[in-house]
Amino acid sequence: MILACDIGLKRIGLAMSVQGIILPLEPILRFNRKQASQELQALLDTKKPSCLVVGLPPENYADTRKRILHFVGLLNFAPVVFVNECNTSLDALEHTHHLKTQKRQKARKDGTLDSLAACEILKRYHEMLV
């Protein structure tokens, strides 16, 4: 099992891959860095994935990269693989076009969209392996 996350300032989208099947998980709503890292650590300890895949933006997003790398540094887990997350949120948004506007807005607020972005990150990881 592989776990992926899309780390944001308000939510952490989560997805897992079991035998190549990618599924979104319940996101972590982030109140502060300590709480969010403890929740993610607890998930890692429970699920025991073989790898953690983390979305990382391109180098021109230096502040965001720095925050993500710091957050991952709070975790006691290895191996961690970083994947370019460029446009994963837009790709995830395409999966919500069938929803009505209110439900699409709810998906943004409750973290569903973030977990769909984590699915996209995991999909990119699988493509890297081929």
- Cβ atoms of residues 53 and 2 within 8 Å: yes
pLDDT tens string 42-79: 999 999 999 999 999 999 989 999 999 999 999 999 99
Q: Which of 71-80, 90-99, 102-111 has the highest mean pLDDT?
A: 71-80
Q: Does pLDDT of 101 surpass 80?
A: no
> Looking at residues 105-119, what average pLDDT do you find?
77
How confident is residue 130, by pLDDT bands cut at 50, 70 and 90?
confident
**Other Cβ atoms closer than 10 A to 110:** 14
Q: Does pLDDT of 111 surpass 90?
A: no
- Cβ atoms of residues 7 and 65 within 8 Å: no
Non-local (6+) Cβ contacts of 21 within 8 A are: none
Beta-sheet strand order (sheet of 51-56): 21-29, 11-18, 2-7, 51-56, 80-84
> Looking at residues 5-13, what average pLDDT do you find?
94
Report the pLDDT value the prediction gives residue 113, as an integer from 0 to 100: 83
On average, the pLDDT of the chain sits at 88
Report the pLDDT value the prediction gives residue 129, as an integer from 0 to 100: 86
Helix (H, G, I), strand (E, B) or coil at 38: helix
Report the pLDDT value the prediction gives residue 112, as an integer from 0 to 100: 81
Q: Does pLDDT of 107 surpass 60?
A: no
